[in-house]
Structure 1
Amino acid sequence: MTTAIEFRNVDKVYGDTRVVKQLNLSIQRGQLVTLIGPSGCGKTTSLKMINRLIEPSSGSIFVSGNDTKAVDPVELRRKIGYVIQQIGLFPHMTIEENISLVPKLLRVNKEQYMKRADELMELVDLDPRMYGKRYPKQLSGGQQQRIGVARALAADPDIILMDEPFSALDPISREQLQDELIKLQEQLKKTIVFVTHDMDEALKIADQIVLMQNGHVVQHDVPEQILRHPKDDFVREFVGEKRFMQFNAFRHVEEVMTEAVTVRPGRGIAECVQHMRRRHVNSLIVTDREGRYLGVVGAEEVYEHYQNESATAEMAMRRDAPTVMPDSNVEEVLTILQTNAKGFLPVVDRSEKLIGVVTRASVLNVITPLTGEESDDGSTVASI
């Protein structure tokens, strides 16, 4: 992988204040990299130095191997896409004219840049026949921001800079545009530098996260490594203790299991069906009087035995369903769950006594706690 952008010992000073301090950073071609940190950490200043909207006080910035100081800033900006929070569409131009502006300045012929405008509107999921002749004020904020992204792509730049582009949008529009950006990036593989103050956004969209503090990089890594291996207390505090707990704390099944919905072996199949409906589950765990695990009765077993009025849970149950121990490793159990059609595993102790169940939902509920009602996999021990 080749380097698209490189900062070498870059400083930015305003009066007596060093906003960026000896910044050394390499951004690889085709990656989406987020710059994130508290207000005043230098992330937006660093972004704007790439296309020379802000000039560095010292040091060098290289774009595609060229020192930006040796490139005319206007020419540099025309070759780098730029999307900002305020969108910056020209209100007196139609949508297609806004998108076509940079190709037009680059003297692309009209037929080509109009065709390109239509393609880009379709790429950001806006019908060019419906929106091309409209003006920015006739679009919603989310639609305008989509056009801002399309305009940044118009000249087919290798590099796109995005300065908190979605932060002014409502949560639903923001989520949709994040998804759209991920889709676009999978398709186009541009080098994108994305400034955000939202760690959830960074974790969702980034290939690499650059976490900054007081003008320098504290940690630069893939999201998973930042979550699992924070460099220091600042990273831990900024990313959020809750996220570290979600990703790192759970090592054994007993930490993520939930209570099971059970049935005695002598109960009839119709009774099992009623119990499943009442408890909103699709399987029951069969236990004896002492609570020892015997087997599992699921929807398939019920269907197979329902016509037999004398059939019981014990007759219908599967005895070969896998079980796990409470000290089993969560990662290993998740692997088993992925291949287990029933989506749950009974948890038993060494005497085969049932002590709970681990389900896909119970793991997710612990890692990303839900509000409101608990999952339908069963949350309390029940016997009939």
Structure 2
Amino acid sequence: MRREEVVAQWQREYDSFLQDCMNRDWAKIARADEPNRDWAIMFEVDRSFINNAKSLLFTIENRLYDVLQFLLDKGADPNSSLRRYNSDRRCYESTTPLIEAVKIGNLESVKILLDNGADINFCVERNLSDRDVYFNKTRIRVKEPSDDLYIKPREKRTDDEKMYIWKYSTGELANMSPIQIAYNYRHDNIVDYLLSRGATMKVNIRPSGIFPFPFTTLGEMLRRCKLYFIKEVGLCEERYYALRTQVREFESTKKLLKGYEVRNAVPYPFRIVSTAVLLLDNSLEFKFQYMALYSLFILEYWNEIINSKTHIAAYAKVDDIGYLICWLVKETEYSKSTRQSLGLK
């Protein structure tokens, strides 16, 4: 039997199984995996209809809650994954039943999946380099680099450490957890529920070529930014807090928040305002440090005024903030035009 015939036969049987799910024919659903399909192994065709991510997704999309629970009771894996092509992003993504339930705002399915062992912090895995043969060959899932590795001076990193960070930070893999997906889709009820179940956000902003830090909440983002800034710039904590006082004095003029507006109850910076005009009489060193700290204190401002639900850095445009910070802590790498635009000589 040719592979095409095997696949066609499997699809016919699987379509019949999905119809049984729609009809809630419990007897047929329970017997779905009983027929002997050993021939399918030869052609690497999935033998199971019940323990199949597509089956779970079907019940979720059609809101067949009792069927979803039935499949899980029969041994379906709530963490089974399915690889799909995202035409909008032009990349392949791994998805799970939980992630798809979150996307369509199906809270009841989210509850059922979590009650049956679904990983609340599973991250979508994206291969952003499918168009490049080189990346296809070297694609690996890398573990998030530690704080110590991030703040280790570049000249002291080994070649392996440099490659490790490069693979993680250039967007070969970008991870988005269910709670950030819920936030992106503005499903506030699901955001609240996931937070109540202990969810965290994990996102690597760097695929856009901007910011290398993975975040959970604004508080965690702020902690990492401070750590990176203090270590990278070589600014001791005493000097940091002294400078912080000076920056707070500028903030009291209300000029620091110029150009920022609130959208959907979340502070949303639609542009980074150059503060060079406020610092004409200050030294280059202070101006350079001030502007980086300015970005950090904007994050502090967010952290103070928004509630726990909106602590998720999804619409906060952290890439803009991160881009400015990275510019400033690498002042020696400025291009001539960038330095001029920032008022630096």
TM-score computed with the length of structure 1 as normaliser: 0.27
Which entry has the higher C-alpha Rg, 1 or 2? 1
TM-score computed with the length of structure 2 as normaliser: 0.29
Q: Greater relative contact order: 1 or 2 (C-alpha under 8 angstroms, separation 6 or more)?
A: 1
Q: Which has the higher strand share?
A: 1
